[in-house]
Amino acid sequence: MMNKMKEIRKNKKGGLSQLLSVVLLLIITVFIFISAIHPNGQSVRKVGDDSNNNIVKEQTQIMDEFQPSVIK
């Protein structure tokens, strides 16, 4: 009976330590991705806002140049 228990114990690989290491690895991975994506998302949004403002300015300039003039 003792031999059977030793075999069962030898067949078990990992266990709690493996589970904890996987959870820790997942937490670290999520933290790295969040810290890497968050600043990039903010800078991309700022660039998008700037380009949107530039497009609006350019459209108003074009519309101002081509206003129909009424000859009286």
Residue extents of the structural domains in the chain: 1-66
Which residue's entry shows tokens 């933290």?
31
> For 2-60, what is each residue's pLDDT tens digit?
666 666 656 556 688 888 999 999 999 998 888 777 666 667 778 778 888 888 888 88
Write the CB contacts of 42 (distance below 8 Å, at least 6 apart in sequence): none
Whole-number pLDDT of residue 53: 86
* Calpha distance 51→21 (Å, rounded): 45
pLDDT of residue 26: 95
The set of long-range contacts for 62-68, using a CB threshold of 8 Å and a minimum separation of 24, is: none
Q: How far apart are CA 57 and CA 54, in angstroms?
A: 5
pTM score of the predicted model: 0.40
